[in-house]
Amino acid sequence: MRHTSLQHARSLKRPTREEMLHRTPTVQQFWTQNKDLFEGAWKEWEGGDALKPVLDSSLYAPKLRAAVEQAWQDPSTEIAVKDLWEEVFPGVYEAQFFDPARLASLREYLESAAAADIPLRPPYGISLNRGGAMLDRRSPGYLAAPGFQSFYRDLMESYMRPISRLLFPDIVGFDTQTFGFSIQWQADADTSLRAHTDASSVTLNLNLNLPGEEFSGSGVRFFDRETRQVAELSFAPGTALIHHGSVPHESMPITKGERSNLVLWLYGDQGEVPRFGGAQTELDARQRWSVPTTPDDGFAPF
């Protein structure tokens, strides 16, 4: 009997955590050689008998969704989008991004994907986060389920890029490429990430915890280069923090419970990012609310 892509993918021996941490050559070979197999397996999984939650625009916070949809129709109304973001630290903005009442659908989808037993590559940049996954198709071992990819592309193109251009004019031209991963902080597993900057022009950090899903610790500490000011910010369900990748930050240790996040990046071709304190590119509103025609360059920071 011929095995399906899903059966074949599930039967593969996966790289060990130690092999991934040490980035042995066989690890990259595993993800690269099985890319087509995994994409087929995810398509088969999503089209299977079990119903999957639908990922669509109803997941976004109603005020943000209404303002963004209006700005795409009439870019001159974009100030309504900008007004939803509060500067909570120099160069760091916060807003309600997802509707807390709808977050359960997104979490259910991601948890179903994690339980699908199809190999998913965890993020291993500064460290390895065992509960996370790569989201962008440029990353071998990414979450290639078609429904998720449709949602992810719309999030990046319709929401993240124009919002980033509104808040950070200097990233224009350094925002043609996308990158994303999920992470999960657990008190008894992966607990924190030391101070670092991101290899991005702009970073969007989205909290996926459900209302009532409490955790202790795990704030994100930011450092201001000029004033030496330090602040630790916490996440409420469905909220987002957005900032230049060059802003130093760290995830503080989680001491109880779990925290789930999506981390999304924009940068230019081949990883180009704007120089700190560099010039700003002037765009009119219509240009901000547009999608670049630059092709995916395949470059992945990690």
What confidence tens digit (pLDDT) does each residue in 243-260 have? 999 999 988 777 788 888
pLDDT in tens, 149-178: 999 999 999 999 999 999 999 999 999 999
CATH number of 55-288: 2.60.120.620
Measured in degrees and rounded to the nearest 5, phi and psi for residue 45 equal -60, -45
What's the pTM value of the predicted model, to 2 decimals? 0.94
Q: What angle do CA 179, 139, 114 make, to 5 degrees?
A: 95
At residue 237's C-alpha, the angle toward residues 153 and 146, to 5°, is 25
Q: With 0-12 CB in 10 A as exposed, 13-18 as middle and 19+ as buried, what is 155?
A: buried
Q: Of all residues in the chain, what percent are helix, strand and coil, respectively (each to 5)?
A: 35, 20, 45
Distance CA 87, CA 242 (A): 9
Q: What is the pLDDT of residue 2?
A: 55
| pLDDT score of 114 | 94
Which parts of the chain have pLDDT scores under 50? 1
Dig out the tokens for 46 from the structure. Answer: 């999503």
276-298 exposure pattern, b = at least 16 Cβ within 10 A, e = fewer: eeeeeeeeebeebbeeeeeeeee
The pLDDT value given to residue 270:
95
* Helix residue ranges, H only, the chain: 5-11, 17-21, 25-33, 35-46, 62-73, 79-82, 103-114, 146-154, 161-167, 285-288
130, 17 in Cβ contact below 8 A?
yes
Burial class (CB in 10 A: 0-12, 13-18, 19+), 163: buried
3-state class (DSSP) for residue 206: strand
Which H or E run contains 183?
A: strand 177-186
